[in-house]
Amino acid sequence: MNAFYASVTQVLEPELKGKPLLIAGDPEKRHGIILTASYEAKKRGVKTGMPIWEAKMHCPQAILRPPNFAAFMDFSNRVFAILRDFSPLVEPFSIDEAFVELTGTEKLWGSPLQAAQAIKKRIKEEVGILCSVGIGPSKVVAKMAAGLQKPDGLTLLTEADIPRRLWPLPIGELFGVGKRMEQHLLNMGIRTIGDLAQTPPKLLRQRFGVVGVTLRELARGQDSSPVNPSSLDTVKSVGHQITLPKDYSLLKEIKVVLLELAEAVSRRARLGNYLGKTVSLSVRGSDFSGIHRSLTLKEATAYPSVIYETALKLFQQHWPQELPVRLLGVSLGNLVRAEGQQLSLFEPEPQLYQAIDRIKNKFGEKSLLRGSFLLEEGVFYEAGKKQDVGRSPHYLS
Amino acid sequence: MKITASKENLLFGVSAVQKAVNAKNTLPILTCIKLEAKGDHLSFTATDLEVGIQCKVPAGVIEEGVCVVPARYFSEIVRKLPDSVITLELIHDGEIIIQYSNSELNLKTMPADEFPQLPVVDGEYKLSIEAGKIKQMVRQTAFACSTDESRPLFTGVLCEIENNEIRMISTDTHRLALKKEYIQNKQKKSFSFIVPAKILTEMARLIQNDEEFCQMNISKNLATFVIENIQIVCRLFDGQFPNYQQVIPSQYTLKVKTKTKLFQEAVERISLFSLDSSSNTIHLKIENNILRLFSQSELGQGYEEIPIAGEGDPVDIAFNYRYLLDVFRVLDEEELTIEFTGPLSPGIIRPVENNNFLYLVLPVRC
């Protein structure tokens, strides 16, 4: 979908149509980052991820709106429902992206091009937003094709088109190449997707291992992964992160936030009936430096004490003491289903949290809080006013 | 030092102290066995500083004295000696001569004064229990201990003495075994201590004669156990054992009675399908005097029904089958009862003809 958050907001508030619109968080809480800009604002140079003040410099007349995640989710579900009318094999990739396997539907919808046009028409008429469709022989080619024409695009790439259409693109555009990988590849003199496609696989294996070879295959448009409609059903991790309202430098303050995050993460894991073995901590400093560290536990857990202690240990081990903290995140990964888990004696938390969960299910997430969360430094439940902290990790499927 | 002894006696001494020798110890002296000839016996001593074992065997002492020999070589030699009278003699340049028939072996020794003295325990509490009783208690509890060294307390067995009762409790937090016995005890004060399970197991192994008595001497952090000619000194765990009584339910919603062997064989057969899965789960469903065991994996599935005498609410519960099989190995009684209080609460297994033993096992979430 094109400029999805902005498009949805424009459908809900038709008077915003055709105007430069910015969807951004609350600058008061320092969430003032542009999540999406409408195409009218994009034309004037606003980019996703810009702080509000910078966006305003590019486009002073832009209208600001906060994100309405419930509406985004609803629109997303409606679009995906349309896709499922065309093929049972629909793999949601993010809130506004999905893969559809059209092989075998030719007798029903005609050629892929005709099917794509029908899809675009229905989304435009029934949901009211525009999208870019890419058609290709594999998931990676289709995804890259969709990016070639925005907004309201429709691009078909065959195997033979790849060298002409994709290879001249800079290497950073390749699906699967992030900032760091881009730098590594540039350092090796690999500047375009075509360069990577023509690099001997042996060299890439030596430098990056299996990942290098896979990337080269992607650059050649080879991607054997099937369209998997249930890829989101298996949750890999649950996590929460939060930008602090001001920089924290005292361990005392940071401890409160880590405990809040551990409490929220464990609650969500329990709601989905999961236990996790790996605790990860993300920290970003006031200078935007950042770390991401994780530790794998001996036994899987879904309770805050171990998660908190592990996150705190990681923080103390890896974060320089004097550096002010801007953002904190805790996540629980390596998830396993709680069914089939051996119960243990002498652990008070399972029983305690069984009771706590029952209370929270009935009276809401904020019906029962630790005293420390009400301290001035506690932020999560304050910010959580607008966000549903206790949503089950199943909510995407 | 010069003595004569039979191969049998030497071998007994060597194998009695073997468990206290750590061949990988970085202190070379601790990889050795100390031999001491005195009066009419030869004593063997070994220690790794956590546990010390001493064993006395009868010997013809020609000249009293002490020597320290490398445990690995000495025990190998003793094992391979012929069944005849053996002479051991320490000669002046630090070598021991082992003579048999017309042959002799020479083995280098270590300086005897470097070998650590076993601590003498003069504890507050002294106790004497029939060796057979303690052997049975250890057999029925030590198996339930944890082997995870990161939580050392659970690698030990809790011993509680109260009036004329001694209780041993062990748990790895997933199951718990409790055994009690009655003893002669003059001490009014009740007391408790935690002994490493592997030391109790070793002690039980060394008991030759069930009629003998085991003399215990317990101080704050050390204990000695003396049985006949063997003495074991060990460190006790320092720490608070969790309140185990609190986790044993006092009531139940279902109690069933069945034949031990019948139940055991059914679990053994049905668990075959759980061998490969990581959770080792076996399902139990009890309704209308029928116990239905069920398990499945990618390989296949099976179920078995056994008749039971039960009273209470039906239950649908899952266990790690290994924890069930473990207890069958130490149950001697023909019949057992199992008590349940729901699918997430522990099941309690007791022998019918004996209320001195209970085994609690926590279920697997299903």
Q: pLDDT tens digit string along B322-339?
A: 999 999 999 999 999 999
Instruction: Tell me the ipTM for this assembly.
Output: 0.81
Concatenate the DSSP letters of all residues of B126-187 into one string: EEEEEHHHHHHHHHHHGGGS---TTSGGGGEEEEEEETTEEEEEEE-SSEEEEEEEE-----
User: What integer is the mean pLDDT of B192-212?
Assistant: 94
Report the gap between the CA of B173 and the closest CA in chain A (Å).
5
User: In degrees rounded to 5, what are phi and psi of residue A164?
Assistant: -80, -40
Which amino acid type is present at position A364? G
The CA distances from residue A375 to A370, A378, B16, B212, in Å, are 10, 5, 63, 66
Is residue B131 located within the same domain as residue B153?
yes
Instruction: Evaluate whether residue A323 is within a structural domain.
Output: yes
For residues A325 and A255, what is the distance between their CA atoms, to the nearest angstrom? 12
Domains in chain B, number: 3
Cross-chain residue pair B365–A298, CB shorter than 8 Å: no
Q: Which of B148, B242, B344 sits opposite A343 (nearest CB)?
A: B344
Interface probe for B, chosen from A296, A342, A347, A357 (most Cβ of B below 10 Å), is A342
More confident: A366 or A384: A366
Check whether A228 has a pLDDT greater than 50: yes
User: What integer is the mean pLDDT of A23-27?
Assistant: 79
For residues A196 and A198, what is the distance between their CA atoms, to the nearest angstrom? 5
Check whether A32 has a pLDDT greater than 80: no
Cross-chain residue pair B279–A341, CB shorter than 8 Å: yes
User: What integer is the mean pLDDT of A367-381?
Assistant: 82
The single residue listed with the structure tokens 């289709």 is: A142
Interface probe for B, chosen from A343, A344, A349, A357 (most Cβ of B below 10 Å), is A343
Instruction: Evaluate whether residue A75 is within a structural domain.
Output: no
Check whether A150 has a pLDDT greater than 70: yes
Q: At what angle do helices A251-271 and A348-363 cross, to 10 degrees?
A: 80
For residues A265 and B273, what is the distance between their CA atoms, to the nearest angstrom? 35
Is residue A278 located within the same domain as residue A307?
yes
Interface probe for B, chosen from A346, A349, A354 (most Cβ of B below 10 Å), is A346
Closest Cα in chain A to B245: A346
Is residue B261 located within the same domain as residue B280?
yes
User: What integer is the mean pLDDT of B222-232?
Assistant: 94
Instruction: Evaluate whether residue B119 is within a structural domain.
Output: no
Residue B261: the pLDDT is: 94
Instruction: Evaluate whether residue A76 is within a structural domain.
Output: no
The single residue listed with the structure tokens 């002669």 is: B184
Is residue A341 located within the same domain as residue A316?
yes
> Which range marks the domain in which residue A105 is found?
84-229
User: What integer is the mean pLDDT of A373-386?
Assistant: 68
Cross-chain residue pair A342–B362, CB shorter than 8 Å: yes
Is residue A326 located within the same domain as residue A179?
no
Domain boundary among A185, A210, A229: A229
Residue B279: the pLDDT is: 65
Interface probe for B, chosen from A270, A345, A354, A358 (most Cβ of B below 10 Å), is A345
For residues A283 and A292, what is the distance between their CA atoms, to the nearest angstrom? 7
Burial string for B155-179 (b: 16+ CB within 10 Å, else e) reads bbbbbbbeeeebbbbbbbbbbbbbb
For residues A385 and A256, what is the distance between their CA atoms, to the nearest angstrom? 18
A15 catalytically annotated: no
Q: Which of B242, B364, B366 sits opposite A346 (nearest CB)?
A: B242
Cross-chain residue pair B364–A340, CB shorter than 8 Å: yes
Is residue B26 located within the same domain as residue B102?
yes
Is residue A364 located within the same domain as residue A312?
yes
Residue A385: the pLDDT is: 43
Put simply, whether B173 touches A (Cβ < 8 Å) is yes
Residue A391: the pLDDT is: 43
Residue A235 pLDDT grade (very low, low, confident, very high; cuts 50, 70, 90): confident
Is residue B332 located within the same domain as residue B291?
yes
Question: Percent of chain A having pLDDT more than 70?
Answer: 93
Instruction: Evaluate whether residue A140 is within a structural domain.
Output: yes
Catalytic residue among A54, A97, A182, A217: A97
Lowest mean pLDDT: which of A27-41, A277-291, B177-191? Answer: A27-41
User: What integer is the mean pLDDT of B68-96?
Assistant: 92
Beta strands B309-312; B125-130: pairing state: unpaired
User: What integer is the mean pLDDT of B160-172?
Assistant: 94
Instruction: Evaluate whether residue B199 is within a structural domain.
Output: yes
Is residue A295 located within the same domain as residue A385?
yes
CATH number of the domain encompassing residue B296: 3.10.150.10
Domains in chain A, number: 3
Instruction: Evaluate whether residue A333 is within a structural domain.
Output: yes
Residue B276 pLDDT grade (very low, low, confident, very high; cuts 50, 70, 90): low
User: In degrees rounded to 5, what are phi and psi of residue A381?
Assistant: -75, -25
Kindly state the tokens that stand for A341. 């888990």
Burial string for A39-58 (b: 16+ CB within 10 Å, else e) reads bbbbeeebeeebebeebeeb
User: What integer is the mean pLDDT of B95-106?
Assistant: 92
Is the separation of the CB atoms in A241 and A291 below 8 Å? no
CATH number of the domain encompassing residue A264: 3.30.1490.100
Residue A306: the pLDDT is: 93
Cross-chain residue pair A343–B365, CB shorter than 8 Å: yes
Check whether A396 has a pLDDT greater than 70: no
At A156-214, the pLDDT tens digits run 988 888 888 889 999 888 888 888 888 888 998 989 999 999 999 898 888 888 888 88
Is the separation of the CB atoms in A256 and A373 below 8 Å? yes
Is the separation of the CB atoms in A332 and A278 below 8 Å? yes
User: What integer is the mean pLDDT of B194-218?
Assistant: 94
Give strand ranges (E) for chain A.
21-24, 34-37, 63-65, 90-94, 97-100, 133-135, 154-156, 237-248, 274-285, 290-301, 325-337
The CA distances from residue B103 to A10, B85, B210, in Å, are 104, 12, 39
User: What integer is the mean pLDDT of B282-311?
Assistant: 90
Is residue B30 located within the same domain as residue B70?
yes
Cross-chain residue pair A343–B366, CB shorter than 8 Å: no
Put simply, whether B150 touches A (Cβ < 8 Å) is yes
Question: Percent of chain A having pLDDT more than 90?
Answer: 27
Is residue B347 located within the same domain as residue B270?
yes
Cross-chain residue pair B247–A346, CB shorter than 8 Å: yes
For residues A21 and A14, what is the distance between their CA atoms, to the nearest angstrom? 12
Residues of A in contact with B148 (CB under 8 A): 298
Report the gap between the CA of A343 and the closest CA in chain B (Å).
6
Give strand ranges (E) for B17-117.
32-38, 41-47, 51-58, 60-63, 65-70, 85-91, 95-100, 103-108
Residue A329, Ramachandran bin (φ over 0: left; ψ between -120 and 50: alpha; else beta): beta
Among positive and negative, which fits the CA dihedral B117, B122, B125, B129? positive
Instruction: Evaluate whether residue B366 is within a structural domain.
Output: no
User: What integer is the mean pLDDT of B119-134?
Assistant: 91
User: What integer is the mean pLDDT of A39-64?
Assistant: 86
Residue A380: the pLDDT is: 65
More confident: A32 or B347: B347
Lowest mean pLDDT: which of A51-55, A379-383, A389-393, B266-270? Answer: A389-393
At B236-250, the pLDDT tens digits run 999 999 999 999 999
Check whether B149 has a pLDDT greater than 60: yes
User: What integer is the mean pLDDT of A40-63?
Assistant: 86
Instruction: Evaluate whether residue B235 is within a structural domain.
Output: yes
Instruction: Evaluate whether residue B77 is within a structural domain.
Output: yes
Lowest mean pLDDT: which of A111-115, A185-189, A360-364, B243-247? Answer: A360-364
Check whether A389 has a pLDDT greater than 70: no
Residue A348: the pLDDT is: 83
Residue A364: the pLDDT is: 80
Is residue B234 located within the same domain as residue B262?
no
Check whether B68 has a pLDDT greater than 80: yes
Residue A383: the pLDDT is: 46
Kindly state the tokens that stand for B240. 């608070």
Q: Which of B344, B362, B364 sits opposite A345 (nearest CB)?
A: B362
Which amino acid type is present at position A326? R
Closest Cα in chain A to B364: A342
> Which range marks the domain in which residue B341 is found?
248-361
Instruction: Evaluate whether residue A73 is within a structural domain.
Output: no
Residues of B in contact with A338 (CB under 8 A): 365
Residue A179: the pLDDT is: 83
Instruction: Evaluate whether residue A72 is within a structural domain.
Output: no
Put simply, whether B276 touches A (Cβ < 8 Å) is no
Residue A301: the pLDDT is: 92
At B253-271, the pLDDT tens digits run 999 999 999 999 999 999 8
Check whether A305 has a pLDDT greater than 90: yes
Burial string for B289-305 (b: 16+ CB within 10 Å, else e) reads eebbbbbbeeeeeeeee
Residue A236: the pLDDT is: 82
CA B25 from centroid of its chain's CA atoms: 23
For residues B319 and B285, what is the distance between their CA atoms, to the nearest angstrom? 11
Q: Which of B174, B281, B360 sits opposite A344 (nearest CB)?
A: B174
Mean pLDDT over each residue of chain A, to the nearest integer: 86
Mean pLDDT over each residue of chain B, to the nearest integer: 92
Is residue A223 located within the same domain as residue A243?
no
pTM of the model: 0.71
